[in-house]
Amino acid sequence: MRKTLIIAGLSMVLPLLLAAEPDGKKTSSMPEYGNWETFTTENGLPANKVYCVRADGDRVWIGTSHGLVLFENEEFKTFTVEDGLAHPGVLALDVSELTGDLWIGTLGGLNRFSGGQFTTFTQFNSGLANDVIYSVVCDGKDVWVATGGGAGHYDTYNEEWAIYTERNAPMHEPWTYSVCAGDNKIFIAAWGGGVIEYQNETGTFRDYIDPDGEMEIDLFPDDGVVHDITTAVSHANGILWVATYFGMSRYDGTHWKGYFDHDSGLASNFINFIKASGDVAFICTDEGLSSFNSEEWITYKKTETGGERVYWKDGNSYSKADATGIAHDFTIGVDFQGDHIWVATSYGLSRGTRIN
């Protein structure tokens, strides 16, 4: 907690400079969302602090500070510790494509929800590295977790655990924030250690760090991860996206590119979460939700009268007012369900509809 406060204090949020809309027109292949709806405790959520959201067909799973929530048929159903949940604080969710099981990362252990029943994994009854689960991802038969005590790998077929820390992996310390899968690899966001890549075929590691070693600024642009304090990773279409508390990185397997709020359309350098959908990355920051397709940006923000969409491309920026907007600018999680986008925020859950 002390480190988080220090880094949050160091991060600088620079406002986007709005310019006139070029030629009064907007041409874009970017997905665009509007007609936002907001859900809070008034609509059936057990709490307004929403940490994560995961679409599963016609259902949507929601992690809050006061329980796991299922949204189905426009109704909310809450699961708590009385139902078998390891802890009321639900930080991460993923669904296994093989079994349909829901895996739940909480502040007090890992849950599997299968057949209407919860199974709990903790340090005391399994090989879990730590009970604080920041991230969980299903990769075939394997379940990977990022915890406060290292990364964990659970083979669901053999029911065997493996733990990866600074003792057996190139980590600065055993504090991991995020994990994702792609190209037969696992990518782990490690506090102070950049990104750790695990090769499934060989069982070997390599790390990606900021080569300049500077902890406050990116001294040499595009030389690697923009900062070693990584908070989230996402992989899609051969691209690795890396979130930090000091900006964002894009890696195509050969070249790195860094993005910051002062020279791009990124809403803020302080990034909580990132998720790629096809060629577009959606970035959850403390100043709104940004989306980026490697060429242009759209950022969604809340205003007193509704919402605002901020467009940015090639140094030119303009904004559009919207009658509706996201629930809160402090965005924490995002997922997609057909033409809908779901956004977890620090004060409510939002659902937007694609409008282009």
Residue 195, C-beta contacts closer than 8 angstroms, at least 6 positions apart: 187, 188, 189, 207, 208, 209, 225, 230, 233, 240, 242
Q: Please tell me the predicted confidence (pLDDT) of residue 77.
A: 98
Whole-Å CA distances, 95 to 8, 55, 59, 106, 326: 31, 9, 11, 15, 25
Q: Please tell me the predicted confidence (pLDDT) of residue 214.
A: 62
Per-residue pLDDT of the chain (356 residues; tens, 9 = 90+): 333 333 333 332 323 223 333 333 344 479 999 999 999 999 999 999 999 999 999 999 999 999 999 999 999 999 999 999 999 999 999 999 999 999 999 999 999 999 999 999 999 999 999 999 999 999 999 999 999 999 999 999 999 999 999 999 999 889 999 999 999 999 999 998 999 999 999 999 999 998 876 656 666 678 789 999 999 999 999 999 999 999 999 999 999 999 999 999 999 999 999 999 999 999 999 999 999 999 999 999 999 999 999 999 999 999 999 999 999 999 999 999 999 999 999 999 999 999 98
Q: Please tell me the predicted confidence (pLDDT) of residue 221.
A: 76
| Residue bearing tokens 């070249």 | 255
Instruction: Map the chain to HEC letters.
Output: CHHHHHHHHHCCCCCCCCCCCHHHCCCCCCCCEEEEEEECHHHCCCCCCEEEEEEECCEEEEEECCEEEEEECCEEEEECHHHCCCCCCEEEEEECCCCCCEEEEECCEEEEEECCEEEEECCCCCCCCCCCEEEEEEECCEEEEEEECEEEEEECCCCEEEEECCCCCCCCCCCEEEEEEECCEEEEEECCCEEEEEECCCCEEEEECCCCCCCCCCCCCCCCCCCCCEEEEEEECCEEEEEECCEEEEECCCCEEEECCCCCCCCCCCEEEEEEECCEEEEEECCEEEEECCCEEEEEEEECCEEEEEEEECCEEEEEEECCCCCCCCEEEEEEECCEEEEEECCEEEEEEECC
Distance separating alpha carbons of residues 203 and 215, to the nearest angstrom: 30
Enter the pTM of the model: 0.90
What domains, with CATH codes, occur in the chain?
34-354 (2.130.10.10)
